[in-house]
Amino acid sequence: MVRLTIAFVAAGILAAQAPPKVQDRFEPARLTRLGGQVGERFDINLEKRLLRVNQERLLRGFEQRPGEQDWIGEHIGKFLDAAANTYEHKPDERLKALMDRLTSRLLATQADDGYLGTYLPKDYWTSWDVWVHKYDLIGLLAYHRVSGDPKALEAARRVGELLMKTFGEGPGQRSIIKASTHVGMAATSVLEPVVYLYKATGDERLLRFAGFLVKSWEEPGGPRVLTSLLEHGNVRKTANNKAYEMMSCLVGLLELYRYTGDASYLKAAAAAWEDIRARRRFITGTTSNLEHFQEDHVLPGLESSNVGETCATVTWMQLGWELLRLTGEAKYAEELERSIYNHLLGAQNPANGDYCYFTPLIGRKRPSPGINCCVSSGPRGISLIPQMAMGRRADAVAVLLLAPAEGKVTLNGTEVNVRAEGDYRAMKIRVDAGRAMSFPVEVRIPEWVTRTLVRVNGKTWNAKPGAIARVEREWKPGDVLEVWNTLRPMVHDGGPTYAGSFAVQYGPQVYAVDRAANPEVPYLHLVAGGRKPAVRRGAEDGVLVLKAEVATPARRRMDIRLTPFSEASDLRVWIPRELPAQPEALPVTLFGRESQSRNENQLGSIVDGRGDTSRATNGRGAVPPDGDFFAVELPRAEKIARVVFRQGPVGERGGAFAGKPRVEYQAAAGGAWTSLGDLGAYAGKAGEAYELKLPEPVAATAIRVIGRPAGASVSCAELEAYVR
């Protein structure tokens, strides 16, 4: 039965909730409290990000069209969505007042025809314009959900009307595939809020328009998202493998599945999720390098690898969240936990609420306060956590995230209060329906436990890791379900990308060697854990200790502190099992921070110690006045005795320098570049090494090689500095 929600008529359409054809197997509780690390980070997100957001930059692109970047309009929608999710859990009146003000200003910029983008009329519906309207819809509908403001829903409805009028297969209508980037995925990801708008209004035209968006994927030159995934289930081979946009389309596809029941939609999205988890998911719960899905098990973690943009992390979580709600299966909750406790919290700076665009597994995190897609996405991910803690799974109360929390779950018309205390090692769960009542209580038992004991009123039994423990009985007020998880540090092999290395996990958290926790270790890659790493819990809570061999530069055995990835800042997740034969002979630039002129979006590195990977400058842009360069920032100042440049690939379009490239250094971080001389023997042959020996060592914090390219670009396999 259709339930009337807002009694206003717009263009003859009565706003009414549309009922889904597919019922969710998991419905989140109405949480009243969230504690532990996730609760602390949730509060930081509210106080230090959402309440301090740069309001003028959120709206400038609308109030002073055109915007400073093609997608600048997405940020207000992301903010409103994060703020609304946060307000539902923690109704802070400061946040509500901020949402009210910003929404009012946004609505004042809407054109008479419903247009709510940041473009000038001559550029309507090009580039990222539909994408901006997608986030307008998401933000306005989220705000309407918590405020009930009919103006927000009316503005969203007008956006929907304009989209339906503009795009379609009728006379005078435009192709939505040709109206956007990434083979149409950016624009067609508007599918998600179009379904939300259908849900809010009951307007059947919107459901038909959603079907058109899915059909448009099959246009010539379109992404074929649905048919490709049904054929082979491989996201790398689908469209242009752009991670954020593809997963956004799949989130919308699952929303549409709820209202159509078309099983192919669920099948395709679930196949993509399985492919990502099995072949393209980092141990920290994110996906993609350089914003794209890579080949099977290719998961480089350096800063230059552009690991898991925060947009991809959050959208990966959204995809898993949709599948968890639709199926109720524990595996989706397991992956959500991995993402939350590692890459999502790891991208947030708890000191100031800033976020990383990319978050490396080897290198330094570089969070920023600015307005960009990932800094706007991070708060959305954090805002989703309360929904994932507990709820109703079919006929049972279910606790899925092992964090201290309290919420209310409705079972058969009765409200049950659920209170969880403790953490993932030991929890006490109290359920209170206000009277004696029979129903099941379920607790997810993570895959990372070695043994779990469950006890109720003196009765104890074992539970299976990786499953859901179900206790069905009559519950009386005051009854407590206790859960004890026995866990130990887990050692994970580095796989094809980091063969000969390992990572450590304890509970849901991945750990890392952090420079700040080990100041006596000059280079993190010179820490080796042995063939059978010995890891134990430290005296401090949250710290593990690795018995390691370290070159400092002399070899010695010592205890290394391991820090949760979510708390580390200058770090290494993948730890070598053995030191090289002569660690003192390694370049001090190894795994330093690399940079280059005319940056090219490509995998490879000039500091990974491998001659078979490389970087190249972008041959499409103008060469800088001083020439192209490759640079490496050293982890600390060193007295450099020689520099080696290893030439990368050389082809018809270039790759070599013209003449003899110069070697320069910085004496202080960020200081002026000073010449050390040139590579006198340089001949530009692929794979060759060219060396500059210094008459006297020079104290340097960074080095670079610079010169004019012989062709369109220049390439480098390794740039090395040695103290000997």
Rounded-to-integer distance, Cα 585 and Cα 564, Å: 31
pLDDT of residue 653: 86
Query: The dihedral of CA 203, 205, 207, 213: what is its sign?
Result: negative
Q: Which residues contact 164 (CB under 8 A, 6 or more apart)?
A: 205, 206, 209
**Ramachandran assignment for 339, one of left (phi > 0), alpha (psi -120 to 50 degrees), beta (any other):** alpha
Tell me whether strands 509-514 and 570-572 are parallel, antiparallel or unpaired: antiparallel
Among 683, 640, 639, residue whose Cα is nearest residue 661: 683
Q: In the 8-state DSSP scheme, what is residue 610?
A: -
Q: How many CB atoms within 10 Å of residue 108? A: 10
The upper half-sphere exposure of residue 643, i.e. CA atoms within 13 Å in the direction of its Cβ, equals 36
Regions of the chain where pLDDT drops below 70: 1-16
Burial of 612 (0-12, 13-18, 19+ CB in 10 A): exposed
Q: Reduced to 3 DSSP states, what percent helix, strand and coil does the chain have, rounded to the nearest 5?
A: 35, 30, 35
pLDDT of residue 1: 26
DSSP assignments along 505-532, one per residue = EETTEEEEEEGGG-TT-S-GGGEE--SS
* Single-letter amino acid, residue 311: C
DSSP assignments along 465-499, one per residue = TTEEEEEEEEE-TT-EEEEEEE---EEEE-TTTTT
**Tokens 């110069």 — which residue?**
662
Q: How many CB atoms within 10 Å of residue 673? A: 17
pLDDT tens-digit series, residues 99-109? 999 999 999 99
Question: CA dihedral defined by 128, 130, 134, 136, rounded to 10 degrees?
Answer: 90
pLDDT of residue 9: 33
pTM of the model as a whole: 0.96
pLDDT of residue 585: 92
Give the residues across from 643 on adjacent strands: 692, 721
